[in-house]
């Protein structure tokens, strides 16, 4: 599950002022492949600022606040 996914181009852009909260999975039991991402970045020349990410209400998944692939 991803709260905000960004795949931008080479033109400079901004992602800011987002409030990401209360992301949960509905399945029972822990699974190593169940992931919750607050913000997942794939590509792009982008500045990320003033984003609020609140995760942690679901122990049945791996939680990642901000994930950047390096592309």
For each of the chain's 71 residues, which pLDDT tens digit applies?
A: 899 999 988 889 999 999 999 887 776 666 667 888 999 999 888 899 999 998 877 667 888 999 988 75
> How many whole angstroms separate alpha carbon 42 and alpha carbon 20?
18
Domain count, the chain: 1
> How many whole angstroms separate alpha carbon 6 and alpha carbon 19?
15
Say which residues have a Cβ less than 8 Å from residue 67's Cβ, sequence separation at least 6: 37, 39, 40, 41
Range of the domain at 52: 2-68
The side-by-side arrangement of strands in the sheet containing 62-68 is 2-7, 35-43, 62-68
pLDDT at 50: 94
> How many whole angstroms separate alpha carbon 43 and alpha carbon 14?
13
């Amino acid at each position: 599950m991803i709260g905000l996914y960004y795949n931008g181009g080479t033109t400079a852009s901004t992602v800011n002022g987002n409030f990401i909260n209360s992301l949960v999975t509905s399945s029972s039991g822990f699974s190593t492949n169940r992931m919750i991402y607050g913000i997942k970045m794939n590509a792009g020349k982008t500045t990320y600022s003033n984003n609020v990410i609140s995760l942690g209400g679901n122990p049945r998944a791996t939680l990642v606040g901000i994930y950047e692939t390096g592309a």
